[in-house]
Amino acid sequence: MVDGLVGTGGEPESSDSLRTFGAVVQALREHAVLSREEFGALVRFSKHTVASVEQGRRMPDPEFVERAEEVLGNTGALRKAARHLGRQPGLAAWFRRWAAMEALAITLYTYECRLIPGLLQTEAYARQLFIDELPPLSDEQIEAQWTARAARQRLLRERPNTAFGFILEEHLFLRRTGGVQVTRELIDHVLEIAQLRNVEIQVMPLVRSSHAGLHGSMQLLETPENKWFAYTEAPESGQLISDPKVISVLQRRYARMRAQALTLDDSVSLLERMRGAL
């Protein structure tokens, strides 16, 4: 289980339910004769967040649901509807809120020591991971997995104002997951993504006497409201972290790793040399 994708035991998430919930919010807001900006001020969320919820693009935060209830009559309708929000195909239950936040983030930092992050994977690389899942996935599950992952990858190009940062361990490329040809395509793809102005990719060298990331992989995210969250994942579980003290520690670790990893230019040079050696 990596990047919140579901194995055989995960529950699918339906985007229809998000759109239905959003339509209910919009109908109640319009009935109250409130613009999105006015409603956003009352629930203490931006008008852009309100729009994303109403359009079914964002899983509503619990605070959003509670405040919206109070503003829109306190009927209990939104609380009850929120309990039945479905889950997007290919995404695990615990990952759904992070995925919704990820889609709106203005900053997203990722450190990965296990495998290439989902946002950077090629289809061939991702499918090898799905094939290696235990218990084995069906063909239908593999297709759902890849569809969900490919949809998430569009964020890199569809959100040019979002700053994406990745620190990747060198051994992730040396492992040659899927074989030599898959690795060639993977490195070519990562080098292409590294050319985007909003993406920074650094490689942590294989030999490093001091390493701030030995506690494991992590992700850090900044929302449009300039709030920071973190996410860590273990087999069959994930943890969304909102505690500012914990996030502060993770931010310091990530900052230290940025200094310990190769520079952007040196990372590209290393990847090019690794590609040439295949």
Question: pLDDT averaged over the chain?
Answer: 88
Task: Give the pLDDT confidence of 101-124 residue by residue, as tens digits.
Answer: 888 899 999 999 999 999 999 999
Out of 27-31, 73-77, 117-121, 230-234, the most confident range is: 117-121
Secondary-structure percent of the chain, ordered helix, strand, coil, rounded to 5: 50, 15, 35
**Cβ neighbours of residue 232 closer than 8 Å, sequence gap 6 or more:** 216, 217, 218, 219, 238, 239, 241
User: What local confidence, expressed as pLDDT, does residue 93 receive?
Assistant: 58
**Rounded to 5 degrees, what angle do the CA atoms 203, 205, 209 make?**
135
User: Is it the case that residue 73 has pLDDT exceeding 70?
Assistant: yes
> Residues of 136-145 as b/e, b for ≥16 C-beta within 10 angstroms?
ebeeebbebb
User: What local confidence, expressed as pLDDT, does residue 233 receive?
Assistant: 85
Mean pLDDT of 180-194: 98
User: Is it the case that residue 10 has pLDDT exceeding 50?
Assistant: no
The pLDDT confidence band at residue 52, using thresholds 50, 70 and 90, is confident
User: What local confidence, expressed as pLDDT, does residue 11 receive?
Assistant: 35
Residues of the chain above pLDDT 90, percent? 64
User: Is it the case that residue 9 has pLDDT exceeding 50?
Assistant: no
Taking the C-alpha atoms of residue 89 and residue 101, their distance in angstroms, rounded to an integer, is 17
Task: Give the pLDDT confidence of 224-270 residue by residue, as tens digits.
Answer: 999 999 999 877 678 889 999 999 999 999 999 999 999 999 999 99
User: What local confidence, expressed as pLDDT, does residue 90 receive?
Assistant: 58
Which residue carries 């030995």 as its tokens? 214
Mean pLDDT of 93-101: 74
Mean pLDDT of 37-45: 93
User: Is it the case that residue 24 has pLDDT exceeding 60?
Assistant: yes
Q: Could you give phi then psi for residue 122, rounded to 5 degrees? A: -85, 165
The pLDDT confidence band at residue 8, using thresholds 50, 70 and 90, is very low
| Pair 38, 107: CB distance under 8 Å | no
